[in-house]
Amino acid sequence: MRAIGNFIDGRSIAGDSRRSGRVFDPNTGAQQAEVAFSTAGDVDAAVKAGLRAFPAWASLNPQRRARVMFAFKALVERDLDELAYLLATEHGKVRADARGDIQRGLEVIEFACGIPHALKGEFTEGAGPGIDVYSMRQPLGVCAGITPFNFPAMIPMWMFGIAIACGNTFVLKPSEKAPSVPVRLAELLLQAGAPAGVLNVVHGDKEAVDALLAHPDVRAVSFVGSSDIAQYIYSTGAANGKRVQAMGGAKNHGIVLPDADMEQVVRDLVGAAFGSAGERCMALPVVVPVGSKTADDLRERLVPEINRLRIGASTDPQAQYGPVITAGHRQRIEDYIRTGVDEGAELVRDGRGFTLPGHEQGFFIGPSLFDHVKRGMKSYHEEIFGPVLQIVRAESFEEALALPSEHQYGNGVAIFTRNGRAAREFARTVNVGMVGINVPIPVPVAYHSFGGWKRSAFGDTNQHGMEGVRFFTRLKTVTARWPEGDVGDQGFVMPTMR
């Protein structure tokens, strides 16, 4: 049985805890590894390693830090197939989707390679007589990231890539359900030239999380996960004096206007709703057709397309999606499907009870489609996080706009239309953080920033891009004067710029 330990100060360490978690292969249902859970002492060791590494790393000029990120990018690209296989067999994503997970993380690393430009401050010459004012962005110290199971490569790289390029050191607490790729990334960063202690990885559950939130030397915490935990991370971290960004859950809507290209909409919806078995915070699990004719046409087209979906093992190159992460998560999805039926929604296609020949013990679930879902239903209000698409019918543009705007989550939304004016008005007024116009999954490119609104995000700063740089640095402003003679009594009065 493979044992997965912490990665602290440049080496693998088993840790002090006697507790551990099981890591499964979702394709077979078999346990493939055991991951050691961290104690508060293990977390403290990781933070102290970051503290020791911080002064030298922070004082290194940005170009040299960028060179490490360039080398890291090259090593990840070299090992892309190995990493994708490891990711797929722990998470359950098909291999192509696993490669996409890694590639989207690498795009943030590419942005981090330009950190010398991103860290440039502002300068005003002659703000007053002989006075110049300039600003600089400086690293915070030891930062921490707590990441979910659904993107074991991308989200860690979103966090530590920017933080480390800015001059911080980092402690990563990945999901205990998919821990291997984060450890491998830390090993590759060390090979790329980052000193030991710059990136540390600790495994565990709430005990490790609470230790990070309470540790006095952790300056900032970045989190992605469910909304209830995000709110806990935000409130607890802030109460302990830390800078916190905490991204929560989602219930993303796709608004379909009558003039939309329906063939393209169906292709986009099927991929966005069922890709990665729906285990994406930017999945599109709710579609809102405007008008009964649009709804009937959409449903008629969706059913055969969903029936053609190929579900398979992660290693199957023809599979469009694989298993979900655990048996417990599969049960949770099936419970939501049962809830939807009990609430009176029409279950057009039932994905429960699906088994894959040759993988009968794997954590597979077929695609499900609901119609006539209403806004008051629990199955609509809450995040299912599985291969379930719900049709919520709207009679007007205004009603369709209100659905995502009034929902508890505000991560992403999409509108499908040929009407530029309607799309512009929708993008301007919808109460959601990320908007796609004929784009089903509107995840911004790496040099923009990712973040939702309402219960999809806690904190004021988004992930990656310049928002990420601002989160992982603090601003210092300098007002300088070089007088020719004695300053006299001017030091006793408030300086002005007259």
Q: Which residues are catalytic?
A: 281
The set of long-range contacts for 315-320, using a CB threshold of 8 Å and a minimum separation of 24, is 315/27, 315/85, 315/88, 315/89, 315/95, 316/94, 317/94, 317/95, 317/96, 319/94, 320/94, 320/274, 320/275
Q: Strands 434-437 and 412-416: what pairing?
A: parallel
- Lay out the sheet containing 6-8: strands in order across: 11-13, 6-8, 199-201, 169-173, 142-146, 218-224, 243-247, 457-458
H-run or E-run covering 388: strand 388-391
The set of long-range contacts for 477-482, using a CB threshold of 8 Å and a minimum separation of 24, is 477/133, 477/134, 477/135, 478/133, 478/134, 478/135, 478/136, 479/127, 479/131, 479/132, 479/133, 480/131, 480/132, 480/133, 480/134, 481/128, 481/130, 481/131, 481/132, 482/130
H-run or E-run covering 480: strand 473-481
**b/e map 45-56, b = 16+ CB within 10 Å:** bbbbbbebbbee
| Residues 441, 448: Cα–Cα separation, whole Å | 15
What DSSP state is assigned to residue 195?
Answer: P
Contacts of 111 (CB under 8 A, 6+ apart): 118, 161, 162, 446, 447, 464, 465
Asked if residues 261 and 130 have their Cβ atoms less than 8 Å apart, the reply is: no
What would the DSSP string read from start to end of 230-273? HHHHHHHHHHTT-EEEEE-----EEEE-TTS-HHHHHHHHHHHH
| Residues 294, 493: Cα–Cα separation, whole Å | 71
Residue 436 token pair? 């796609």
Asked if residues 51 and 169 have their Cβ atoms less than 8 Å apart, the reply is: yes
CA dist 167 to 275, 458, 464, Å? 36, 25, 15
**b/e map 139-149, b = 16+ CB within 10 Å:** bbbbbbbbbbb
Phi (first) and psi of residue 130, to 5 degrees? 70, 15
